Amino acid sequence: MTTQPVQKNDTLEVTFTDLSHDGAGVAKVKGYTLFVPGGLPGEAAEVKVIKTKKGYGFGKLIKFIETSEDRVEPPCEIFDRCGGCQIQHLNPKGQAQFKYKMVTDALERLGGLKEIKVHPVLTMDHPWAYRNKASVPVASREGELIAGFYQKRSHFIIDMDHCLITDDTVDEVIQEVKRIAKDSGIEPYNEETHKGILRHIIVRVGKQTDEVMVVLVTKTDELPFRKRFIKELPEKFPQIKSIAQNINKKRTNTIFGNETRILWGKETILDTIGSVKFAISPRSFYQVNPEQTRVLYEKAMEYAELAGKETVIDAYCGIGTISLFLAQKAGQVYGVEIVPEAIEDARKNAELNELTNVTFEAGPAEEVIPNWYKQGIKADIVVVDPPRKGCDEALLQTILEMKPKRVVYVSCNPATLARDLRVLEDGGYKTIEVQPVDMFPQTMHCEAVAKIEL
Ligand code: SAH
């Protein structure tokens, strides 16, 4: 006898209360969690249970009993299959409310932080075509080269002709690269057999400068039909300023390998955010939504409350974007980042903007910052902008020892933000306020910036 309240093939009526990380409706049936793709919070539906596990199961929508007033028709043709977006069926107001709840829930449940001032999400007026970059895996299907995004919860590639959250130029250049690749007969990479040549196509545009970079990731040292790519691409798109090849010979999900060669044009493309200019290399991290990045960085600057003489550390600095914003108003800025090419870019960017009060060092933040501290570098303000897994524990401990008067935490994952804020609070800091910024409309991702003081 099982005590599980629902069984496979049961048909039941449920009310959705939440969304899962991949955008499925979440319903509770006598404490048992059911994930049903398509359901939105507040909606009621008849569903059929298709799979059960201990503690949770999956269902399929049969029919809606009540729909949300925030439900809209998803405009993308492949929305139901593609894993790129999760919530196109929720209108912007609904997305903002949901992301607000995502942040407050994480702070409460995972950080035990109840009475924190969380501001309404800062959203985009036109939440489409915002991505300045697309990274599409290549594969072969029935003898044809395809390239697109991974299907939800799998490594099955959905062939994509047009992506509504990607910049139009990036979208068109991807299609042209695909056309040349198909026409030349270059062999697509096969993840299972680890054979083939072309693995990924990456296209990035500097939205303010219109400069485009194309990166072709290959499994092999040689890129066959290299001449065709470097002739035909810039001929059709004069905005293309750089074409690079990156070599990744490993059996891995990581997109880039260690070796990058510039095949044609410049080593970097340029972009600007506000009044600051940036040069960007093929492998460097650069925020994907420049319009909202500006909003985010302005908020980070406001929270840093710089008077002009402070020493500031920017941890996880990438190509120095936040560091250079801070340097305009601080005494001295130290930036640290793990990718050496990004640090090279950061140094170039400091020069490009004629900012001399910034020092960059490549290495893990959790090692470099404790070293700086030993050498006597003591920050008045620390800014952190870690990847999704959050800050390393050793870095948080160093912050607690260093005791900067203020920490500005820029986060792309509310769960690790909440976890790390708890550590800082236990060490004597107080979270003053949190500002969520929607950098990734139509998706479940949410960015937030927090101001923390001693
Ligand atoms: N602040 C930058 C980058 C943020 S993304 C911007 O806004 O553009 C996070 C960055 O952290 C990435 O550039 C990544 O390469 C870097 N990173 C990841 N792990 C790291 C670590 N342990 N130490 C330092 N940097 C790290």
pLDDT in tens, 391-432: 999 999 999 999 999 999 999 999 999 999 999 999 999 999
Shortest-distance atom of ligand 1 to CA 387: 9
**From 337, 398, 412, 449, mutation site for ligand 1 pocket: most ligand atoms within 8 A of C-beta:** 337
Asked if 173 contacts 242 with a C-beta cutoff of 8 angstroms, the reply is: no
- In ligand 1, the atom with minimum distance to the C-alpha of 297 is 7
Distance 315 CA to ligand 1 centre (A): 7
Q: Of the candidates 270, 262, 220, 218, which has an alpha carbon nearest to the alpha carbon of residue 243?
A: 262
Q: Name the residue of 292, 299, 338 to mutate for ligand 1: max ligand atoms within 8 A of Cβ.
A: 338
Q: Whose CA is nearest to atom 16 of ligand 1?
A: 316
If you measure from the C-alpha of residue 366 to the centroid of ligand 1, how many angstroms do you get, rounded to a whole number? 12
pLDDT of 3: 72
Q: Which residue's alpha carbon is at the smallest distance from atom 23 of ligand 1?
A: 364
Query: Residue 368 burial by CB count (10 A; 0-12/13-18/19+): exposed, middle or buried?
Result: buried
Q: How far apart (Å, rounded) are the C-alpha atoms in residues 189 and 192?
A: 9
Structure tokens at 40: 């939105």
Q: 421 with 409: CB under 8 angstroms?
A: yes
Question: Which atom, in ligand 1's list, is nearest to the CA of 296?
Answer: 7
The Å distance, Cα 192 to ligand 1 centre, comes to: 30
Q: Give 100 Cα–ligand 1 centroid separation in angstroms.
A: 24
Q: How many CB atoms lie within 10 A of CB 371?
A: 13
Centre of ligand 1 to C-alpha 384, Å, is 9
Question: Model-level pTM?
Answer: 0.93
Residue nearest to atom 3 of ligand 1 (CA): 318
Q: Best mutation site among 285, 313, 369 for ligand 1, i.e. most ligand atoms within 8 A of its Cβ?
A: 285
Q: In ligand 1, which atom is closest to the CA atom of 339? A: 15
pLDDT of amino acid 2: 56
Atom from ligand 1 closest to the CA of residue 386: 9
d(CA 322, ligand 1 centre) in Å: 11
Q: Whose CA is nearest to atom 5 of ligand 1?
A: 387
Helix (H) or strand (E) holding 117: strand 117-118
Tell me the chain's radius of gyration from C-alpha atoms.
23
In the chain, which residues have pLDDT < 50? none
Are 160 and 131 spatial neighbours (Cβ–Cβ below 8 Å)? no
DSSP 137: E
CB of 160 closer than 8 Å to CB of 79: no
Separation between Cα atoms, residue 252 and residue 389, nearest integer Å: 19
Tell me which residue has its CA closest to atom 19 in ligand 1. 338
User: Which active-site residues does the annotation give?
Assistant: 412
Show the domains of the chain with their CATH numbers.
11-66 (2.40.50.140), 99-125+289-453 (3.40.50.150), 133-271 (2.40.50.1070)
Nearest CA to ligand 1 atom 22: 364
Residue nearest to atom 12 of ligand 1 (CA): 318
Between the CA of 117 and the centroid of ligand 1 the distance, in Å, is: 27
Helix (H, G, I), strand (E, B) or coil at 354: coil
Widest distance between CA atoms in the chain: 73
Question: Which ligand 1 atom is nearest residue 287's CA?
Answer: 8
Between the CA of 158 and the centroid of ligand 1 the distance, in Å, is 29
Cα 410 to ligand 1 centre (Å): 11
Under 8 Å between Cβ of 264 and 286: no
| Chain center to CA of 156 | 21
Atom of ligand 1 nearest to the CA of 412: 5
The structure tokens 């290299």 sit at 226
Residues in contact with ligand 1 by the CB-under-6-Å rule are 285-287, 316-318, 321-322, 336-339, 342, 364-366, 385-387, 392
